[in-house]
Structure 1
Amino acid sequence: MHVPDGFINAPVSVAAGVTAAAAVAVSLRGARRELGASPVALAGAERTAPLAGLVAAFIFAVQMLNFPVAAGTSGHLLGGALAAILVGPYTGVLCIAVVLLMQGILFADGGLTALGVNITVMGVVTVVVAYALFRGLVKVLPRSRRSITVASFVAALASVPAAAGAFTLIYAIGGTTNVPVGKVLTAMVGVHVLIGIGEAVITMLTVGAVIAVRPDLVYGARGLSTPLKLRVGGELVDAEPADAPALAPASASAPGPAPALGPVAARSPKKVWATGLVTALVLAGFVSFYASASPDGLERVATDQGIDEKVEEHAAAGSPLADYGVKDVSNARISGGLAGVIGVGATVVVGSGVFYVVRRRRTDEPASAPVRETV
C-alpha cells in the first residue's frame, strides 16, 4: 500500500507530513519507556535497541514477499500490528517509519512527497487500530499465550482494511483525480480485507514463534506472569525469570529494610536476534524471488479505478537499488537477492542506531519507579 507521488495533492501531502512528524515525535518519547520496560533492558541499550532494529528489518524483509489474494492482485505485510505487539506501539510506529524511509530513499518504493501519507496510513493507523484492539482482547480473554496469538490475529486482520479506509479518506480530501470516493472505498476495503487475512496469519505465526521461545521479549505478552520485584540502584524492577541466572547481591550486609542488589543477569537475547536476522536475510535474499509479481492492492485499485492518472516518477528512480534490484546486475535472481540483503542490512543498522539513541536518552534520565502494565 505504498502511495506514490502524484496520488495526493501538495497541500494534503504537507498536512499528512506534519501529522506523521508529530506522530514520530510523540513516538520517540513513548519509545523511551517501552525500550526500558522489559527485563532485558537491565542490560542496557546494547540489547534492547538491536531487538527493535531487528523488528524493523524483519518487516522490511517480509514486505518483499507479495502473496496472491485474487486474480492479478497481490498483497504484502504492512507490519504495524506485528511491530506494536512485539516491541510496543510507540516503538512500532518508529519501526514502520524507518522501513518506509529506507524503502523510499533506497528502493524508490513509495513517493518521497507521499512519505507523510505512507507513515500516517501504514504506520500510525495500523499501529493505533491494531494495538487498541489487541489490548482490549487480551483483557477479556483468558491469561494465556494462546490468547496473545489469537488477539494478534484479530488485531492484524482489522488493521489492514482500517489503513485502506484511512487512505480513502485522505484521497477524498486531496486526491488528484475525480474518481468517486465510494468506488475507491469499496475497492480498497474489499481487496484489503483479503490482504488482511495474510497479514493476520504472518503476525500470528511470528508472535507465536517468539512467545514459544522467549515470551519475555514480547511487549504485548507482559503480565502473563508476575515476577518478583527487586530494588536495583534505588529503582524497583522486575526480577529475571526463574530459569535465568542471577548475580549475588552487591552488599548483603547493607543496612536498611531493602538492601540494594547488584545487576540482574537476564538471559541474553542474542540467539533470538541472530535467528531473526538470518531469517530476514533468507526471506529477502532468497524467498523474495518467488514472491507474486502481480500488482498489490493499491496498485490494482489505482489502475482499475483510474486514480493513477497523475502519478509522478519517483525522485529516486535512478537509485542503484530502485525497484529492488542492483543496477548493472543482469541476473534477476542475484540482483533481487542482493538488493534484499542490502535492504535488511541497512534497515537493521539504521533502526538499531535510532533505537540505541532513544534508549540511551531514557537511560540518562533521572530514575523513577516504572509503571508496570499487566495483561
Structure 2
Amino acid sequence: MHVPDGFINAPVSAVTGVVAAGAVAVSLRGARRELDERTAPLAGLVAAFIFAVQMLNFPVAAGTSGHLLGGALAAILVGPFTGVLCVSVVLLMQGILFADGGLTALGVNVTDMAIVTTVVAYAVFRGLVKVLPRTRRSVTVASFVAALLSVPAAAVAFTLIYAVGGTTDVALSKVATAMVGVHVLIGIGEAVITALTVGAVIAVRPDLVYGARGLQQRLKLRVNGELVDTPAAAPAAPVAARSSHRTVWITGLVTSLVLAGFVSFYASASPDGLEKVAKDKGIDTRTRAHASEDSPLAGYGVKDISDARVSGGLAGVIGVGVTIVAGTGVFWAIRRRRTADSSPAAVPEGV
C-alpha cells in the first residue's frame, strides 16, 4: 500500500507530513515508557523483520497480491508508540533506498501505514484481551483479529485522504469499494502472519511481548477451604535470561535475512492491492517518477547485477541490515534518554 508521488496533491501531502511528524514526535516521547532492556534490542529487530516480510507479496485474488503492513505486529510486540516508530523507520528506508513509496508522499504513507494501522490494531487488541480469558492463546487470537481489522482501516484512511487530495477525477465510491474489498483479503494474510509471529515469541519468551504483560494470573490453591496464591516462581538467573534473549534476537535476525535474501525471490509478482486498484480505476495517471529511481537499490535489486535471484536477495539482505542498524540506533538512543531522565542527577534539587 505504498503511495507513490503524484497520487495526492501537494497541500494534502504537506498536511499529512505535519500529522506524521507530530505523531512521530509523540511516539518518541511515549516510547521512553515502553522501551527497557528487553524491548530496546527487540524493537530494532521488529523493524527489520517487518522490512523482510513486506518483500513477500502473497496472492489474494486474480492478478492481485498483498504484503504485511506491520502496524499490528509491531504494536503488540513492542508497544504502540514504539510500533509507530518501527513502521516509520521501515517506510523511510524503503522510500530513500529502494524507491518504494514516494518521498513527497512519505507523510501519507506514515499516516496510513504506521499511525492508522498501529492505533486501530492496538485499540482492538487491548479491547479483546480485556474480555478474553487471560491466557497466551487469547493474546494470539486478539493479535489475529487486530491485524485483520487494521488493514481495511488503512484502506479506508487512504480513501479519505484521496477524497480530499486526489489528483485524478475518479468516483470516490469506486475507489472505496475496490480498496476495502481487496484489503479485507489482504488483512487475512496480515492476520495469519501476525498471529504466527506473536505466538512463536510467546511460546519461548512471553515476557518479551509487550501486549502480553500483566496477563499472567497467579495459580490458586485451596488450603483449609480457602483459595490462596501459589508462591511466585523464582526469577530467571540474569545470565540465563540474557542467553535466552540473545537466542530470540539471533533467531529473528536469521529468519529476517532468510526471508529477504532467499524466500523473497518466490514472492508474487502481481501488483499489490493499491497498485491494482490504481491501475483499474485510473487514479495512477499522474504518478510521478520517484526521486530515488536511480538509487543502486531501486526496485529491490542491486544495480549492475544481472542475475535476478542474486540481485534481489542481496538487496533484501542489505535492506534488513540497514533497517536493523537504523532502528536499533534510534531505540537505544531513546532508551538512554529515558535512563538519563530517571537518574538521580536529572532530578532537580529539592524535588
Give the alignment's TM-score, normalised by structure 1. Answer: 0.86
Task: List per-residue Cα deviations over 1:141-192 (Å, max 9, x = no partner).
Answer: 0000000000000000000000000000000000000001110000000000
Instruction: Compute the displacement of 1:269 (Å).
Output: 1.0
What is the CA–CA distance in structure 2 between the aligned matches of 1:266 and 1:318, rounded to whole Å? 43
Letter of the 2:3 partner, please give it.
V
Find the residue that maps to 1:142 and give its secondary structure: coil
Which residue is equivalent to 1:100? 91
Unaligned runs of 5+ residues in structure 2 are 219-231, 345-351
Verify: 1:279 aligned to 2:270, yes or no: no
The counterpart of 1:335, out of the listed 311, 314, 317, is 311
Which residue is equivalent to 1:85? 76
Which residue is equivalent to 2:3? 3
What is the CA–CA distance in structure 1 between the aligned matches of 2:68 and 2:29, rounded to whole Å? 26
Verify: 1:132 aligned to 2:108, yes or no: no
Task: List per-residue Cα deviations over 1:39-96 (Å, max 9, x = no partner).
Answer: xx2xxxxx54221000000000000000000000000000000000000000000000
Which residue is equivalent to 2:268? 292
The counterpart of 2:237, out of the listed 237, 242, 245, is 245
What is the CA–CA distance in structure 2 between the aligned matches of 1:246 and 1:133, rounded to whole Å? 34
**Contact kept? 2:134, 2:217, Cα under 8 Å:** no
Instruction: Compute the displacement of 1:243 (Å).
Output: 5.3
Which residue is equivalent to 2:282? 306
Task: List per-residue Cα deviations over 1:2-55 (Å, max 9, x = no partner).
Answer: 00000000000000000000000000000000003xxxx2xxxxx542210000
Which residue is equivalent to 2:201? 210
**Contact kept? 1:49, 1:353, Cα under 8 Å:** no
Which residue is equivalent to 2:29? 29
Verify: 1:359 aligned to 2:335, yes or no: yes
Which residue is equivalent to 2:178? 187
Find the residue that maps to 1:155 and give its secondary structure: helix
Instruction: Compute the displacement of 1:266 (Å).
Output: 6.2
The counterpart of 2:60, out of the listed 69, 86, 93, is 69
Taking the TM superposition and a 5 Å limit, the aligned residue runs for 1:360-375 are 360-366=336-342
Taking the TM superposition and a 5 Å limit, the aligned residue runs for 1:97-176 are 97-176=88-167
What is the CA–CA distance in structure 2 between the aligned matches of 1:172 and 1:343, rounded to whole Å? 33
Identity percentage of aligned residues: 79
Which residue is equivalent to 2:224? none
Task: List per-residue Cα deviations over 1:195-227 (Å, max 9, x = no partner).
Answer: 000000000000000000000000000012369
Which residue is equivalent to 1:19? 19
**Contact kept? 2:135, 2:216, Cα under 8 Å:** no
**Contact kept? 2:84, 2:114, Cα under 8 Å:** yes
Instruction: Compute the displacement of 1:242 (Å).
Output: 3.0
Find the residue that maps to 1:157 and give its secondary structure: helix
Letter of the 2:115 partner, please give it.
V
Letter of the 2:149 partner, please give it.
A
**CA gap 1:342/1:241 in 2 versus in 1, 3 angstroms:** farther
The counterpart of 1:326, out of the listed 302, 306, 311, is 302
**Contact kept? 1:50, 1:348, Cα under 8 Å:** no
**CA gap 1:267/1:223 in 2 versus in 1, 3 angstroms:** farther
**Contact kept? 1:134, 1:152, Cα under 8 Å:** yes
Find the residue that maps to 1:322 and give its secondary structure: coil
What is the CA–CA distance in structure 1 between the aligned matches of 2:150 and 2:39, rounded to whole Å? 26
Letter of the 2:8 partner, please give it.
I
Instruction: Compute the displacement of 1:137 (Å).
Output: 0.1
Structure having the higher helix fraction is 2
What is the CA–CA distance in structure 1 between the aligned matches of 2:33 and 2:317, rounded to whole Å? 31
What is the CA–CA distance in structure 1 between the aligned matches of 2:52 and 2:238, rounded to whole Å? 36
What is the CA–CA distance in structure 1 between the aligned matches of 2:119 and 2:293, rounded to whole Å? 32
Taking the TM superposition and a 5 Å limit, the aligned residue runs for 1:250-269 are 268-269=244-245
What is the CA–CA distance in structure 1 between the aligned matches of 2:66 and 2:136, rounded to whole Å? 28
Which residue is equivalent to 2:227? none
Taking only aligned residues, the RMSD between alpha carbons, in angstroms, comes to 1.7
What is the CA–CA distance in structure 1 between the aligned matches of 2:150 and 2:333, rounded to whole Å? 29
**Contact kept? 1:244, 1:266, Cα under 8 Å:** no
**CA gap 1:241/1:181 in 2 versus in 1, 3 angstroms:** farther
Task: List per-residue Cα deviations over 1:276-299 (Å, max 9, x = no partner).
Answer: 000000000000000000000000
Find the residue that maps to 1:323 and give its secondary structure: coil
Instruction: Compute the displacement of 1:246 (Å).
Output: 5.6
**Contact kept? 2:44, 2:324, Cα under 8 Å:** yes
Which residue is equivalent to 2:40? 49
Instruction: Compute the displacement of 1:245 (Å).
Output: 1.3
**Contact kept? 2:135, 2:215, Cα under 8 Å:** yes
Task: List per-residue Cα deviations over 1:227-283 (Å, max 9, x = no partner).
Answer: 9xxxxxxxxxxxx96351169xxxxxxxxxxxxxxxx97665111000000000000
Find the residue that maps to 2:117 and give its secondary structure: helix
**CA gap 1:106/1:241 in 2 versus in 1, 3 angstroms:** farther
Find the residue that maps to 2:6 and give its secondary structure: coil
Which residue is equivalent to 1:261? none
